[in-house]
Amino acid sequence: MDFIHAFIFGLGNSTNFLQDPHTAREWLDIYASRRPFRFWDGELPAIKNMSKRLGVPIVPAWVAKATSYIEDWTFQSCQKAKSWTKSISTDEEHERKTAAVVIDQLEMAVGSKIAQDPSLGPHHLQVASEVLDHLAAGHETSGITLTYLYWELSRNAALQDSLRNELLTLNPQIERVSSSPSRELPDSRIIDGLPLLHALLMETLRIHSAIPGPQPRKTPSPPISVAGSPPLTPGTRISAHAYSLHRNPRVFPNPEVWNPSRWLDCSEKEKAEMSRWFWAFGSGGRMCIGSNIAMQGLWTTLIAKNH
């Protein structure tokens, strides 16, 4: 959360959950408490609403209160970032680096959109709603991936040694604690080029996808064929699963085995085919817009952890 919050709102406004575990635990517990009830909103909202009207709600009232807490917290973060932007001096290099660049861009984009269509609603709520999606997707998926990655590494000491040796080739080195907030970091293109680090993340995202379940869509009009099917009626719900795509034995031999070397000991043709079936971030026009910042955050955290 510290990483994605700072990315959106700037370092001057970011959370500091790492050094404030009490606040972190409170926030994360409230956020996670709603998880068992997401199914109803996502899959059967009509039944959820009907049960509420009948006086026997499937989703308890405290879930709405927990959601309001998260929404209010996000809104306050937006307001704080707006005030911060007005107060900083853009003549100072350090302040430019800590400015709320993402939220500033969202403010302008949403403002332009509402100017064209006022029916979209209050500007500040549109921005906060967009940001809430980014915060949820940005912290939860990365947290899941890192948890599985550390678990897999904990069972392979030799692989840990190989990773440390590869990370020692970075110049400059990434430190977990630095007395200089402006200390130079390795070029992201160099980090991206570390073969073992890349293979570890790709294999973890393959077998432990943070969002392994369905990504539902509705077919358009006129009827279309999907993956060789007969023409489908417009409005038909279809979906694909990262879990299933990542376990195609033709593309990923022994698919249930966590094996980073499959991304290293392969031909360019085999790698291209694996990448084509790799769906941790989706694909096409609906692909995760945060895939690059997610990989950057995972790389940096893993490097610092194994320094």
Task: Give the tens place of pLDDT for each residue, 132-181.
Answer: 999 998 899 999 999 999 999 999 999 999 999 999 888 877 765 555 55
- pLDDT score, position 158: 95
Report pLDDT digits (tens) over 260-286.
999 999 999 999 999 999 999 988 888
- One DSSP character per residue, the chain reads -HHHHHHHH-GGG---GGG-HHHHHHHHHHHHHTGGGHHHHHH-HHHHHHHHHTT--SS-HHHHHHHHHHHHHHHHHHHHHHHHHHHS-TTSHHHHHTS-HHHHHHHHHHHHHHHH-GGG--HHHHHHHHHHHHHHHHHHHHHHHHHHHHHHHHT-HHHHHHHHHHHTT-SSPP-SS-S-TT-----HHHHHT-HHHHHHHHHHHHHT-SS-SB--EE--SS-B-STTPPPBPTT-EE--BHHHHTT-TTTSSSTTS--GGGGTSS-HHHHHHHHHH--TT--GGGS-TTHHHHHHHHHHHHHHHT-
In a domain, residue 39? The reply is: yes
Question: Residue 219 — very low, low, confident or very high, per pLDDT cuts 50/70/90?
Answer: very high
| Confidence at residue 41, expressed as pLDDT on a 0 to 100 scale | 86
pLDDT value of residue 110: 84
Note the pLDDT tens digit of each residue in 1-19. Answer: 998 998 898 887 889 999 9
Identity of the amino acid at 136: A
| Contact assessment for residue 141 and residue 210, using Cβ atoms and an 8 Å cutoff | yes
Instruction: Give the model's pLDDT for residue 115.
Output: 76
Kindly state the percentage of the chain with pLDDT values over 90: 52
| Predicted local distance difference test score (pLDDT) of residue 151 | 96
pLDDT at position 43, please? Answer: 85
Q: What are phi and psi of 237, to 5 degrees?
A: -80, 125
User: At 50, is the pLDDT very low, low, confident or very high (cuts 50, 70, 90)?
Assistant: very high
Of 214, 284, 217, the C-alpha closest to 245 is: 214
- Structural domain includes residue 38: yes
| Residue 239 pLDDT | 87
Q: What is the mean pLDDT of residues 107-114?
A: 83
Q: Which residue has the tokens 């990773």?
A: 163
Mean pLDDT on 241-246: 93
pLDDT category at 190 given cuts 50, 70, 90 is confident
Flag whether 206 is in a domain.
no
Q: What is the pLDDT of residue 184?
A: 75
The answer to whether residue 186 sits within a structural domain is no
Residue 57 falls inside a structural domain: yes
Note whether residue 56 is domain-resident.
Answer: yes
Residue 75 placed within a domain: yes
What is the number of structural domains in the chain? 1
Residue 26 lies in a domain: yes
- Local confidence band at 96 (pLDDT 50, 70, 90 cut-offs): low
Q: Which residue has the higher pLDDT, 104 or 95?
A: 104
Q: What is the mean pLDDT of the chain?
A: 87
Q: What is the pLDDT of residue 23?
A: 94
Full residue range of the structural domain in which residue 86 is found: 1-155
Q: What is the mean pLDDT of residues 81-105?
A: 69
Task: Give yes or no for residue 107 having a pLDDT over 70.
Answer: yes
